[in-house]
Amino acid sequence: MALTNKISIAVKVELFGTPRLAAGRRELELVLPAETSRQEFAAALAEACPALVGKVIRDDLSGLQEGYVLNLNGLAFLNGDVLHVQDGDAVLILSNQAGG
Amino acid sequence: MYGYHGKALVVDLSSRSHHWDAIPEQVLRSFIGGIGLGTYLLYRYCPAGADPLGPDNPLIFAGSPLVGSRLTTSSKFAVMTKSPLTGFIGDSLSSSFLATELKKTCGDALIIVGRAESLTLLFIEDGVPRFLDAADLMGLGTFDTEQAVKEMLGGPRIRVASIGPAGEHLVRYASIANDGGRQAGRCGPGAVMGSKNLKALALHGSQTVDVANPVATHEYGIDLSKRSLGAATEKYRELGTMANVSVFNRLGTLPTRNFRESTFEGAEQVSGEHLHQEHLAKNATCANCTIGCEKILVTSDDGKKSQGRMEYESLFALGPLCGVDDPNTVIRAAGICDDLGMDTISAGVTIAWAMECFDKGLITADDTGGIDLRFGNGQALLDTLELIGHRRDLGSLLAEGTKIAAQQLGGGSGDWAMNVKGLEMPGYEPRSLKTMALGLAVTPRGACHNRSSAYEADFSGRVDRLTVDDSRGLIAAESEDFTAVLDSLIWCKFLRKAFNDFYQESAQVYTMITGLEMSPDELKRAGERINNLKKLFNIREGWRRQDDTLPPRVLQEKLPTGVVAGVGLTQEELDYMIAGYYQARGWNEDGSVPDTKLADLGLLDLLPVSSGVTISA
């Protein structure tokens, strides 16, 4: 995986629902550039947890499958192309199918 | 006529008579079917001021044009009545083969009025009712009742809807079970059925309705079924709605211990992920559904084995809301509710209210017959459910639901009676879901997550879910109208993200099936029309501006835990959003519906409706 020459930060990735079942774990740590694109995030996640590829991460590692959204620290949803995350943040991977 | 019969069967239990009433094509186009058609029929057949538990209150089963088309998720029906919990419009949906049998037997709807002299089994075969003695079924749970009725009438092709002991005892949130334990649960239709001395309804028919364009419908159905198996429904297929527990807990939106908190320390034990790994017996589907969201769970401890359906609302209400973190207890509790025939949400919320009363000393061990009704006591939960279902001891008070029970008990317990208009709150914490807070406050049937899908905006990042702004009124109104169309056609909500363009596709499907031209805008207008008529029904039954509100706890206490600690919702914020909602609806500032709006929606031509009711603020 080729990360750009930006400052690297450590974030916790929390998995919910299908991602948790697929990964067999509730969370993992990633080291990312501070200004991370969705593609960079997906690639780093795939490297840390290959079991998510296909089910949660697109096969070409270009991003997450369409059924998922990202949330920052349980508060804001990350909808932009660039993920503005900081060292120590938690990035939640959730289904986009809210409620029920 | 395609897709519809153009008539409804009216059965009078008092006189043991029946007749057919025509439903004009213009009415069918205007109200579609399901909840929409049911709302029209309720307005027409329920006399103003009718006692919800009296013989005049109709119990209506409404089908839809999509029933029988074999389109995925379309085998649904609506149950409409004046709710004994709220005194306002009561509606509930259920998915089962009862929907197809209803359409083959009773036309577009079945309207039951009157009251039988003694406990009765109503067997309708091709539109001809028989009134059978049901004394032998008295006291049976819903599962045994259905089995007994099928044995009595001779066969698995007969479809049955029934009540359990809760309906017989007029528990105000009694449900109507059908087709193997499915429930029309909310708003107390089972109590209305019980008030009519109607233990069970059995249907068998052969009257099919042609589809206008069967080839196009079939091809569309194949395409939609494929989409229903994709990413748009994955959550529901994998974990079902149970997946909400761990997510809601993390986001601070999981109501806990009677809405005192919005995070639960025991959430992992009752999470969808844990239940899937430790308790899943099998997956199941509704009739004619390709999604298959149903999770059949089984207990794993040494106690009495219990197996049954589980979904988020049952899980939150019988788990975190009562402080219970033992999955075996929650599985048993849901099974008890289904067999007694009680809405799991109202049952759980009412017991959580009682637990807080016990905590505060308003209810004592003398009142409970020795049950230690503390938060977290799973056995107390199970024992209390049985008391409610049979209206024994404290159960008689709790069978009234939180609104009436709090009025009877007093002591300020209304402050933590978690209902809107009398209907108990679903599992969405309004303080940390502000758009949903508005939806819960204004939706006509009371606190409801199904008739308002306003939470979609909160959970998508479309809005800041922790703050209030002037966009929420329009979002809430549009979500209600969308849901009204969905519930009238009737599609399953879990299909909603599988549509490329919901209104465009749904209008095309409507035309394919009925042969009636329908545009996306016309369909959208139908949703608006349906919600306006619901509101008119409520106004006729005494709705006032102050009925559009939230429980005092929500407006007075801030959330204490999780990422939303310190977040609250003030009366001013809620009023601001409600004003925006009335404005978005084109209503008056006091929430009444102007005649110009009725005329604009064509309601004055369709019904003898009136907005001429004085509404006091």
Tens digits of per-residue pLDDT, B362-416? 999 999 999 999 999 999 999 999 999 999 999 999 999 999 999 999 999 999 9
Least confident of B190-194, B198-202, B455-459, B505-509: B455-459
Nearest to A18 among B238, B252, B453 (CB): B238
Residue B605 clears pLDDT 90, i.e. is over it: no
Closest CA to B188 of B414, B37, B388, B401: B401
Which residues of chain A are within 8 Å of residue B313 when distances are taken between CB atoms? 100
Is the CB of residue A1 less than 8 Å away from at least one CB of chain B?
A: no
Rounded Cα gap, residues B434 and B580, in angstroms:
13
Nearest to B247 among A16, A66, A76 (CB): A16
Rounded Cα gap, residues A80 and B72, in angstroms:
34
Is the CB of residue A24 less than 8 Å away from at least one CB of chain B?
A: no
Rounded Cα gap, residues A33 and A37, in angstroms:
9
Q: Categorize the per-residue pLDDT at A1 as very low, low, confident or very high, splitting at 50, 70 and 90.
A: very low
Rounded Cα gap, residues B278 and B560, in angstroms:
31
Residue B500 clears pLDDT 50, i.e. is over it: yes
Higher pLDDT, A99 or B25: B25
Write the pLDDT tens digit of every residue in B257-270.
Answer: 999 999 999 999 99
Consecutive H or E run containing B191 = helix B189-195
Q: Categorize the per-residue pLDDT at A100 as very low, low, confident or very high, splitting at 50, 70 and 90.
A: confident
Angle at which helices B520-540 and B502-514 cross, to 10°: 90
Rounded Cα gap, residues B592 and B365, in angstroms:
46
Q: How far is A80 from chain B (nearest CA, A)?
A: 11
Mean pLDDT of the region B534-538:
97
Which residues of chain B are within 8 Å of residue A77 when distances are taken between CB atoms? 459-461
Which residues of chain B are within 8 Å of residue A74 when distances are taken between CB atoms? 250-252, 562-563
Rounded Cα gap, residues B557 and B242, in angstroms:
28
ipTM here: 0.94
Q: How far is the first Cα of chain A from the last one, in angstroms, to the nearest whole number?
A: 38
Residue B617 clears pLDDT 70, i.e. is over it: no
Closest CA to B324 of B401, B243, B257, B239: B257
The pLDDT assigned to B355 comes to: 98
Residues of B with CB under 8 A from a CB of A: 231-236, 238-241, 243-244, 246-247, 250-252, 272-273, 276-277, 311-313, 428, 449, 453, 455-456, 458-461, 464, 466, 493-494, 497, 562-563
Residue B74 clears pLDDT 60, i.e. is over it: yes
Q: What angle do CA B27, B530, B469 make, to 5 degrees?
A: 160
β-bridge mates for residue B284, sequence order: B294
B312 to A77: CB separation less than 8 angstroms, yes or no: no
Residue A43 clears pLDDT 60, i.e. is over it: yes
Mean pLDDT of the region B62-79:
96
CA distances from B61 to A63, B41, B189 (A): 46, 10, 10
Which residues of chain A are within 8 Å of residue B567 when distances are taken between CB atoms? none
What is the 3-class SS of B509-557, one letter each residue? HHHHHHCCCCCHHHHHHHHHHHHHHHHHHHHHCCCCHHHCCCCHHHHHC
Is the CB of residue A54 less than 8 Å away from at least one CB of chain B?
A: no
Which residues of chain A are within 8 Å of residue B250 when distances are taken between CB atoms? 14, 16, 74, 92
